[in-house]
Amino acid sequence: MSLDPELLQILVCPNDRGEVEYREDERVIVCRSCGYRYPVRDGIPVMLIDEAEKPTGRRKR
């Protein structure tokens, strides 16, 4: 399920305000700077830090 391109333009990572990209095949939105992965459920991005999958093996900024 694709997301509205206008919605994707305004979304930012709530962790560090970084740019995000939608990976439709994985149904996640990924922050390009910190690597947090936010789920997309039923076509709705869940942009909550508590719901995000945190990256492993990266140093904190």
Residue-range definition of the domain harbouring residue 23:
5-51
Q: Tell me the pLDDT of the chain (61 aa) as tens digits.
A: 688 889 999 999 999 999 999 999 999 999 999 999 999 999 999 999 999 999 987 555 4
Classify residue 56: in a domain, yes or no.
Answer: no
One-letter amino acid at 15 equals: N
Classify residue 58: in a domain, yes or no.
Answer: no
Classify residue 22: in a domain, yes or no.
Answer: yes
The sheet carrying 44-45 orders its strands as 20-23, 28-31, 37-41, 44-45
Global confidence as pTM: 0.86
- Collapsing DSSP to helix, strand or coil, 50 comes out as helix
Domain count for the chain: 1
